[in-house]
A and B are shown apart, each in its own frame.
Chain A
Amino acid sequence: MLIHNISELKEKKELYKASLDKQYKKVIVCGGTGCVAGGSLNVYEELKRLVEEKGILAEVDLEKEDQGIGMKKSGCHGFCERGPLVRIEPEGYLYLKVKVEDCEEIVEETLVNNKPIERLMYKDGDKVYQTQESIPFYKRQNRIVLEHCGHIDAESIQEYIAHDGYMALAKVLEEMTPEEVCEEVIKSNLRGRGGGGYPAGKKWSQVLSFPSDMKYVVCNGDEGDPGAFMDRSIMEGDPHSVIEGMTIAAYATGASEGYIYVRAEYPLAVKRLTKAIEEARAVGLLGKNILGTDLSFDIHISQGAGAFVCGEGSALMASIEGERGMPRVKTKRTVEEGLWRKPTVINNVETLPM
């Protein structure tokens, strides 16, 4: 199912959107590392079995518009302490600490009879918080990068497209030159989210300015700060946003190959990213002549092996090259001499989906 050009991509988006709208209810079971540890996959299987038994399960494939209940495994919602989490749309109910034994009640009460189950909801004293958005933990969150995470099926490129995915790439390819993209990112004042805070657009335009037969885009997913798992959440929950961001970076800088460096401690992130890259390749959003344009770009996953220092740019690149991951003294910046001594953009996971 190759998508040949930009207008075809837009048609697909409309089709997938319509198909998603036909799913009159969506059950989103958290499939992030925390909830999986709490047994969410068993909950997912049981809910799916019960819904299927009732004959109201919608097709996963959005090419086939099918009325029914959509079952999804999402990325991390961030509320791991109360997992496994189950979100019901369109109501926005959030059920906490769901066990396999609760599934029958969820299907009967909520999915068939449209009633909330208060005992599974977040409570503070007597007050019951029905919807996810009303819970104090979520109420003040303004999700930008993680907008889709926890709300869409993390393993479906079709859902990502239905939620305007790859539209930014389409716009960039259709309307902008690489210089304009860099300019726009500079104007947006997007700064590196890894912690250094270097203006991302400036980095991109520097890489663009060095002529070379080969340039690279590297995504730094060697997250290791205590208590931080935003990179994991993105890679697990919305992997296509990383791919789209990297592809835009490739267009803006003239790069043709990309690497995502992921820690071996994140097996689920590796799995989801691998699947996402394969799906993107299959529809022609990665590879040669993306969407029928001159842009050719492909992404590889490079796994770490438990070295904290590899989060540092030069050590990370040494590790991708298959060396000991030791930082080296940089006489030239990576934008000029990075991976295999070629101009390289290296961005944090969180910077790219912005």
Chain B
Amino acid sequence: MPYGNMEKVDRILESYGDDQSHIITILQKIQSEYRYLPMDVLEYVSDKMEISPAKLFGIATFYENFSLDPKGKYIIKICDGTACHVKKSIPVLEALRKELSLTENKHTTDDLLFTIETVSCLGACGLAPVITINDKVYGKISPEMAVEIIRKLKEEETNANS
């Protein structure tokens, strides 16, 4: 089967070898490159590493960190571990969904700028509730603060494009 340009994938595969024990790290690297796991890339990896597509698909869907749908430039992770949940992480989630017109089933904005995810404990319970945006941690967040941060990011994007 002809594949598109897989140079990036080849580089990742080269640096980790074709041992199946590296598959999770490989998928993580691919995801950080493409921001999700595109179907044709998965097929290519399955071919190269000689893992059946069904098995690879099984691994990709088992772990919550992997996404088969495109993700936004900014990935907002809202901690909904027990400590953050008790400290009212859900109102933060709801406020952000409203701001970005997202729902429980729609995680990414149409302009591919923002993705909202909930994660279990980030291990920073002392700062609950916590969100991270592209791995930058924001602690003791309120719904208003969260919306404020998003608006700022939106503004930066508009300015960068104009």
Residues on A lying within 8 angstroms of B by beta carbon are: 33-34, 36-38, 78-81, 83, 223-229, 232, 264-267, 302-308, 319-326
Contacts and interface: CB of A to CB of B under 8 A. Distances in A.
Contacts of A319: 24
Contacts of B122: 33, 265
B123 A232 contact: yes
**Interface on chain A toward B: helix, strand, loop, or mixed SS?**
loop
Nearest to B86: A226
Contacts of A305: 24, 27-28, 63-66
16 contacts: A33-B137, A34-B126, A37-B124, A37-B138, A38-B139, A223-B123, A225-B121, A227-B121, A228-B121, A267-B135, A302-B21, A302-B24, A305-B66, A306-B120, A307-B62, A324-B58
Contacts of B135: 267
Given A37-B137, A324-B58, A265 B121 contact: yes
Contact of A227 (B21, B65, B66, B125): B125
Contacts of B59: 322-324
B67 to A, nearest CB: 11
A82 B120 CA distance: 23
A307 B121 CA distance: 12
Closest 10 CB pairs of A and B: A226-B82, A80-B126, A37-B137, A305-B63, A306-B64, A306-B65, A322-B20, A322-B23, A305-B65, A229-B123
Contacts of B138: 37
B120 A224 contact: yes
Nearest to B19: A322
Contacts of B52: none
Interface residues of B, number: 34
A37 B120 contact: no
B127 interface: yes
Contacts of B27: 305
Nearest to A259: B21
A308 B20 contact: no
Given A83-B126, A264-B65, A319-B24, 17 more contacts: A34-B126, A34-B139, A37-B138, A37-B139, A80-B124, A226-B121, A228-B121, A232-B123, A265-B120, A302-B24, A306-B120, A320-B21, A321-B21, A322-B24, A324-B58, A324-B59, A325-B63
A223 B21 CA distance: 21
B81 interface: yes
Contacts of A324: 58-59, 62
A79 B127 CA distance: 10
A230 to B, nearest CB: 10
Interface centre among B58, B119, B137 (most CB of A within 10 A): B137
Contacts of B98: none
Contacts of A323: 20, 59
Contacts of A38: 127, 139
Nearest to A225: B121
A9 to B, nearest CB: 32
A232 B122 CA distance: 10
Nearest to B135: A267
B128 to A, nearest CB: 9
A33 B82 CA distance: 18
A336 B62 CA distance: 27
Nearest to B59: A324
Nearest to B22: A322
A34 B124 contact: yes
A308 B120 contact: yes
B101 interface: no
Contacts of A79: 126
B103 interface: no
